[in-house]
Structure 1
């Protein structure tokens, strides 16, 4: 036996390569007589592996999460409360649903959880901005009333001075 790893690998896999390509069998866990497969092969051929929609749907859904995260750079005045609220609510509902359905898809649960986090963060930013605008409006009204009161007092003082000038 050779000590070179490539030669050992080739001699080990030689029977597989001698089989015709279309006659190779895929090992499944249904037949207990067949040898155990590695964890990687089990994942690849499993119910949520990359050969199924249960893998590719969450991969595509990450684009929604990344788009929502990209909106962190936008000012809160340009964000939609209803859209981000819908994202947060959708993320929360589907995160819970991912633990109920069979097969349980942790990858889908993770993407939905992050969708909830991004949506909830944006909603909180929008609500804080709306609250600050409301408070600024109330402060401006109070300041306007103070200025108006000062103008009224200045007008009355000017009127008294004008009357004094007229009388003298």
Structure 2
């Protein structure tokens, strides 16, 4: 008898959830985010949630799903670096993570299909980068005692990184020219 009560509760809760979720559906009756745009409204109602996720343009069988899942590794690595001393952190690397997070968060919301999962992971990657960059700057400021000297050190580090990247690019271009 108790299983029947549970079954009735489950069915009633499911029906009320479907009615309550109507305002959260996309305009135009296109259904949930994981619904394929090719599927008609009648076919979508017959598909299970798993089938809609599987057939979605950002579903489980696409790179649009697995790229954000794998990128969480960068966020977790950045969070684990919170325990490292600031003098052992790379300003260039964390600056690149900050820029990557900011640029790709915006881009993920522009592209079609819009990838909210990737935008979320990039947002958190940018947040981790901002925290680490601020830790490095505060550490260097406390060591030097001057904000101007800290800014000059940061500028020098970035200039050296840019020069080495330019030399690598020139070498690659020369190698490509010589091989042709």
- TM over 0.5: same fold? yes
Secondary structure at the aligned position of 1:104 is classed as: coil
Deviations 1:11-66 (A, max 9, x none): xxxxxxxxxxxxxxxxx753566462234421222011111110001111111111
Secondary structure of the residue that 1:57 maps to in structure 2? helix
* CA RMSD across the alignment: 2.2
Unaligned runs of at least 5 residues, structure 2: 8-35, 147-180
What secondary structure is seen at the aligned counterpart in 2 of 1:103?
A: coil
Task: Tell me by how many angstroms 1:120 deviates.
Answer: 0.6
Aligned counterpart, 1:113: 123
Q: C-alpha distance in 2, partners of 1:33/1:95?
A: 34
C-alpha change, 1:32 and 1:71, in structure 2 (3 Å) is closer
Contact 2:64 2:115 in 1 (8 A): yes
Aligned length: 112
Structure 1 residue runs of 5 or longer lacking an equivalent are 6-27, 137-168
Q: Secondary structure at the match of 1:47?
A: coil
- More displaced, 34-43 or 116-125? 34-43
Cα distance in 1 for residues equivalent to 2:78 and 2:94: 8
Q: How far apart in 1 are the matches of 2:51 and 2:131?
A: 38
d(CA) in 2 for partners of 1:35, 1:123: 47
2:57/2:113 contact within 8 Å kept? yes
Larger RCO (CA within 8 A; separation ≥ 6): 1
* Structure 2 residue aligned with 1:80: 90
Aligned partners of 2:86 and 2:55: how far apart in 1? 45
Q: Which has the larger radius of gyration?
A: 1
Q: Distance in 2 between matches of 1:127 and 1:76?
A: 9
Aligned to 1:15: none
The 1-side partners of 2:127 and 2:41 are apart by: 44
- Which residue is 2:67 aligned to? 57
Shift of 1:83: 0.4
Match of 1:66 among 66, 76, 80: 76
1:104 pairs with one of 111, 114, 117: 114
Please give the alpha-carbon distance, in whole angstroms, between the structure 2 residues aligned to 1:41 and 1:70.
36
